[in-house]
Structure 1
């Protein structure tokens, strides 16, 4: 294909992607038709089908880019000057990536309820994060010698991941308003407290805190 045609095709594909993102955000997964995407992109139905087999295919294209951004995050060294800085980098990176792709994430969740393909893609991405967190948890337990005294590392990792996932969904998709810095500080506090507990360090007695607050 000649360079000019290649460039024109790339621009058309990008217009379709942007139009699909807009349509999914406005109409939701179930409410979006191929016609809605084509109209927003300013192309015919025939042009749409030149690039995508159906609306599922264009969502897979969008989801693939979103997955790549998260995979890049999970693949980076989870390091910092101290544990708090490292957690701020990881959790903050997750929140920023989720916020940037919130329309895609929302549509992805909607599609997952009715199409196993999208559910499988999400679980694959989630497992990458859980596996990475599990590695960190196992490292802490190896040093502390507390492996047999706490729940399985994978379960701890899944719970920590779910906390951030659901917070991001409620905040960026459902509109539950929080200040980013206070939200990040809160998530880091809970994750950090968990790590301290796994390491065998003293952590705050939340029950006592609650009693003190009530008095």
Structure 2
């Protein structure tokens, strides 16, 4: 997800890798606490317990380290560690497990997703980064839909890429509304996590005509 022009090459020494990772973790804490606009480099170096000179060894500015923080979140959301599915031949069960893993990771990274949305409104580089992030998920899900169609488990009348674009966007915005905007359910209360998983999965399954 992170734009390559925003990131330097990774350090070559183990110590450099550890120091950079410490800075990225500290920056995440500061960004989530203060927001992107109010976060200062001195806050990040203080959180990481390092000097300003050390910061500039690995990053040029706040934009670069924010991109690095987002890159870590992207990896977490792309590879969230889907739980083992008892019935791996049941496409509904696999879909539910996949949605659960993604939504768990989204909830874990909700503050960063909110910050990315805000920064993308004022910085074209991060706007592109957000689009690239969405395209990554759409492409991956399109391949999964196409595979289900080939196996005769999904509606073959759908264009897999367009279906993925519609359904992936739906889940992403749905997750944003629940975990970032914290919009309540019809009863005025916070939406239970299991209800989020159930709703997203059922809409996906209905659209693709999957059977439980």
Q: Same fold (TM over 0.5)?
A: yes
Offset of residue 83 of structure 1: 2.0
Question: Of the two, which has the highest radius of gyration?
Answer: 1
Q: How many residues align?
A: 191
Return the match for 2:46 from 39, 52, 57.
39
Partner Cα separation in structure 2 for residue 140 and residue 86 of structure 1: 11
Cα offsets for 1:138-160 (capped at 9, x unmatched): 4556659976x66x443322111
Q: Does 1:189 align with 2:181?
A: no
Return the match for 1:115 from 123, 143, 159.
123
Return the match for 1:60 from 56, 59, 67.
67
Return the match for 2:20 from 6, 13, 17.
13
- The alignment's TM-score, normalised by the length of structure 2, stands at 0.74
**8 Å Cα contact 1:73-1:90 kept in structure 2:** no
What residue is the counterpart of 1:132 in the other structure?
A: 140
Structure in which a larger fraction of residues adopt helix = 1
What residue is the counterpart of 1:173 in the other structure?
A: 180
What residue is the counterpart of 2:110 in the other structure?
A: 102
Taking a change above 3 Å as real, the CA distance of residues 160 and 14 of structure 1, as seen in their structure-2 partners, is same
Gapped runs of 5+ residues in structure 1? 202-215
**8 Å Cα contact 2:96-2:201 kept in structure 1:** yes
Counterpart of 1:80 in 2: which secondary structure? coil
- The alignment's TM-score, normalised by the length of structure 1, stands at 0.73
Counterpart of 1:12 in 2: which secondary structure? helix
Counterpart of 1:57 in 2: which secondary structure? helix
Counterpart of 2:88 in 1: which secondary structure? coil
